[in-house]
Structure 1
Amino acid sequence: MTNSVPTAVGGPVTETTARDALAARIEQRTATVGIIGLGYVGLPLIDAFVRAGFSCQGFDVDASKVDALNAGRSYIKHIDSARVAGWLSDKMFTATADMRRLAEPDVLLICVPTPLTDARDPDLKYVVGTCQAIAKALRPGQLVVLESTTYPTTTRDVMVPILESNGLTAGKDFFVAYSPEREDPGNPNFSAAQIPKVVGGLDEVSRDLACQLYGSAVAGTIAVSSCEVAEAAKVLENIYRSVNIALVNELKILFDAIGIDVWEVINAAKTKPFGFQAFYPGPGLGGHCIPIDPFYLSWLARKHDQTTRFIELAGEVNTGMPRYVIGRLAEFLNEAGKPIKGSKICLLGVAYKKDVDDPRESPSFVLMELLLQRGADLTYSDPHVPRLPSMRHHDLPAMESRELTDEFLASQDCVLIATDHSAFDYEQIVAHAPLIVDTRNATAGVTAGREKIRKA
């Protein structure tokens, strides 16, 4: 799948010849698309481009991921192994950990993590490291697109100087754009190919090439005037959700105090056919985007002597929810004459959202830490996460998911529903567990045994 470097006939590569050569390759589906970061964003992108007729190369520093994919094995639930095997058998995909091969693709899409530091500042080490690797291999005519969520100006001020360190000039020798990922794991209605892509370029040529590329593989493109607008659009999408989830979390605490069921309130309010969008409370925020990305903008605001009060307040409310849940659980156990210490508590669901296998930033890990600190005899069950993964910011003992037999449920003092997976049999859980603390309204359809259910 190695492509020759585009060259001008009888002369050096110019901006025009580089642009035209790449545009022709994209049009003819002969361009090779390189995806850096083979996770929950990278693999769905590969699927979209392979389906559109493009050959893809996957790059990842994790050799175990590379080996699995080259053997036709997927490690992500919504991209199954049969699909990966199909890419391989059709000779449309290969994976590598050799970053020296970054010169081979015509397009490089960067899909690496952008976490926060312990001080809640942006941590761009993965973006920086990836750009440094690209700079060593970068050749004229390539298009480099950052998809990782970040603060406005990252592409222009952080990424481009690193890429230009090898002597090539962005916008002339190679092209740069930003197009934020919009992956929604577990949503069967919107695969990567079905979600429109916002695209901003370092210049018009870069933007147009990126729009042409994505337009060949996804539902549509929305061209914006700059990388900064595209970066800001992604952060806005996640801030919108964070603030509204914080609002219903705060209302949940208030309504609990005065004996009103927040879930019933939301269900009533959402019958209004205009002017209202339902958001739902929970034990805290999870996933790589919503708990993290708003703080990228608040950090940028501080750099410009501005404040982002909504963002900061939403963060305070959402990060405080796990402690609220454990406080309520302690009250419910106390009603039964039991302390948390020594009580057998099984937490249901460690994935951050329903019916996915993605545990990133899951509030379940905070809940588990709080329960262990209080001396609980803790277990968990999650059909999508058979073993407790190692997490950067959580120090938890090794655990394996427990089977929810009638006998096991009956032996627990409390079952805490943290993630409302469809695979859980809620009628069985309510029938056999002595106390159920439900943070997701997962037991709403259960009629028998409701005296054992508590909302938190």
Structure 2
Amino acid sequence: MAYNTKEKTHSRVSAAHGPVVQASIVETEWMNDLLGGQVLPLQTDKQFTYDVAIVGLGYVGLPTALAVNASGHKVLGLDVSERRLAVIESLRADLLESDKARLRSALDDPNFVITSDLSLISQAAAVVVCVPTPVDSHLVPELSILRSACASVVENAVAGQLLVLTSTTYVGSTRDMLSGPLAERGLVAGEDIFVAFSPERINPGVETHTHEEVPRVVGGVTETCGRRAEDFLKTLTKEVHVVPTADAAEMTKLVENTFRAVNIALANEFADICRVLNIEVMDVVTAADTKPYGFMAFTPGPGVGGHCIPCDPHYLLWQLRKSRLASPVIESAMAGIAARPQQVIERSRRILSDRDHGLCSARVLIVGVAYKPDVEDLRESPALEIISALTVENADVAYMDHWCRTAPDGNGGVLTTLEDPVGWRPDLVIVHTRHDGVDLSWLKDVPVVLDTTYRLPSAANVFRL
């Protein structure tokens, strides 16, 4: 059924009534362009209703769908969560301001359709899979969401389509979850259908790294698949770098985020070293960053959160363990990153102990709980582990973060952000995340501040992690 109200005139599709936007000559011409100027014999009479289907409308899929729609394509957004669709429709999705503007425009555009009906995948010329790939509590890849999404794509795929997987995962996943199962259905990659991997490159909370500006890497299951995917991506971004295989593209994403993880772990070590030697680590990092070659600045912190760095290297380590190949540098870096929140607890304990106060019954205030500045994303945030550990120590814990109005309390309940931190009278303030525009001048009036960001001005009551 078409979803139309006075407030929202975009299309919402139900399984019972099917799509509301019909195929057009323009779309057929775009499909011809996508296929390199020719329509495959199996597709001569096929007209697709949508140019692109985006499977998964989370932190990657929704901005991707909005960027594709802004480029002029007819977009079908798919997500199995009706709750997520409702969040999008009500303009409550966590997005950059530029993407919020795009969403407002898209919701009034009949060429932008969102639905939970995965059977409509067959109606799109290109299908892009953008679903989460987390790790579980044992740091083992949790592939159920990706497997389910890919299974739905395979089930509903038709000859002539381009299928692009973007979710970060292990090397070989595109073959295992898409091209292999498609072949079992009689759809051969590079002949009947086109399959490729192009890792997402989204930096949440950063306006400068837009879809249009950030180069994309892509590799096809076959050379022909790679060319088809390259043609498609060129309609979305200024630069596309093609690698020989989907495996190489999958490995590229793992290298990118493992590189960051190793260097963040090293920056944390430098911070510890500088504290012992009574040196401000950021003075050193800033100075080293003046070198125009051979150095890239990474900054220390309380740990690493978000969807990439805490998770992606474990996909590589998990795969390598099957081959009994040791990766000591990566393993050490990930162990160091995982231990960082506990270092915050131990540092807090020592600072309070030096003032004849224990963690038990101490009033500890966390400033900023989002995993990075200017987002409302709590996924894998070190703050959650810090709050949980403080709760175990029987500390009285509170937090303030205008981006995240509620957060887990570490004891099965929920905390609500403080509005008056000074009035709460904390014994210790842990600065975890510094959002832009937040006034922290009140910190001068609290007894002790533990700065895990290494960005606060030096003061008698300010200690570094």
Tell me, yes or no, whether TM beats 0.5: yes
Name the counterpart of 2:461.
452
Matched, 1:416 2:430: yes
Q: Check 1:101–1:318 CA distance in 2 against 1; reply closer, same or farther (3 A cut).
A: same
2:339 corresponding residue in structure 1 = 320
Residue type of the partner of 1:427? S
- Partner in structure 2 of residue 11 of structure 1: none
Q: Deviations over 1:182-211 (max 9, x none)?
A: 100111211122111001001122111111
Q: Deviations over 1:350-404 (max 9, x none)?
A: 11111122221111111111111101111111111112269xxx76421111114
SS in 2 for 1:198: strand
Between stretches 117-126 and 49-58, larger displacement belongs to 117-126
Within a 5 Å distance, the mapping from 1:57-456 to structure 2 comes to 57-78=76-97, 81-388=100-407, 396-408=412-424, 411-428=425-442, 430-444=443-457, 450-456=459-465
Q: Does the C-alpha gap of structure 1 residues 397 and 163 become closer, same or farther in structure 2, counting only changes over 3 Å?
A: farther
Distance 1:244 1:156, change over 3 A: same
Quick check: 1:132–1:163 contact (8 Å CA) kept in 2? no
- State which drifts further: 339-348 or 86-95: 86-95
CA-to-partner distance for each residue in 1:209-243, whole Å, 9 max, x for gaps? 11111111112100110001101111100111111
Contact 1:439 1:455 in 2 (8 A): yes
The Cα of 1:149 is off from its aligned counterpart by 0.6
Q: CA deviation at 1:100?
A: 1.7
- State the alpha-carbon separation in 1 of the partners of residues 199 and 22 from structure 2: 27
Distance in 2 between residues matched to 1:19 and 1:217, nearest whole Å? 27
Contact 2:42/2:192 (CA < 8 Å) preserved in 1? Answer: no
1:216 and 1:25 map into 2 onto residues whose CA distance is 20
Partner Cα distance (2:125, 2:139) in 1? 35
| SS of aligned partner of 1:380 | strand
- Aligned partner of 2:267: which letter? V
AA at the equivalent of 1:305: R
Residue of structure 1 equivalent to 2:40: 18
Output the CA distance in 2 between the equivalents of 1:19 and 1:236. Answer: 39
RMSD after superposition: 2.6
Q: Which runs of 5+ in 1 are unaligned?
A: 7-14
Letter in structure 2 aligned against 1:168: L
Distance 2:167 2:41 in 1: 24
Q: Contact conserved, 1:177 with 1:201, CA < 8 A, in 2?
A: yes
* Structure 2 residue 58 is the aligned partner of structure 1 residue 39: yes
**Cα distance, 1:293 vs structure 2:** 0.8
SS at match of 2:54: strand
Which deviations, in whole Å up to 9, do the C-alpha atoms of 1:408-456 show, x marking residues without a partner?
A: 3xx111111111212321222x223221110002313xx7xx1111111
**2:72 maps to what in 1?**
53
CA distance in 1, matches of 2:426, 2:40: 66
Task: Tell whether the 8 Å contact from 1:19 to 1:205 is kept in structure 2 after alignment.
Answer: no
Cα distance, 1:143 vs structure 2: 1.0
- Mark the CA change 1:49 to 1:374 in structure 2 (over 3 Å): closer, same or farther: same
C-alpha contact 2:43 2:159 (8 A) present in aligned 1: no
- 1:253 CA drift (Å): 1.8
Q: Distance in 1 between matches of 2:262 and 2:63?
A: 28
Tell me how many residue pairs correspond in the alignment.
435
Counterpart of 2:10 in structure 1 is: none
Cα distance in 2 between the residues matched to 1:162 and 1:178? 16
Q: CA deviation at 1:64?
A: 1.2
Distance 2:398 2:421 in 1: 14
* Deviation per residue, 1:87-114 (Å, 9 max, x gap): 1212231211111221121111111111
1:193–1:219 CA contact under 8 A, matched in 2: yes
Q: CA separation in 2, counterparts of 1:79 and 1:103?
A: 31
Secondary structure in structure 1 of the residue aligned to 2:241: strand
Residues 31-40 or 365-374, more deviating? 31-40
Shift of the 399–299 alpha-carbon distance from structure 1 to 2, 3 Å rule, reads: same
Specify the code of the residue in structure 2 equivalent to 1:242.
Answer: A
Contact 2:98 2:207 in 1 (8 A): no
SS in 2 for 1:149: coil
> Letter of the aligned partner of 1:432 in structure 2?
D
DSSP 3-state at the match of 1:17: coil
Q: Structure 1 residues 372 and 18, CA, compared in 2 at 3 Å: closer, same or farther?
A: farther
- Structure 2 spans left out of the alignment, 5+ residues: 1-20, 29-36
Distance in 2 separating the partners of 1:284 and 1:19: 54
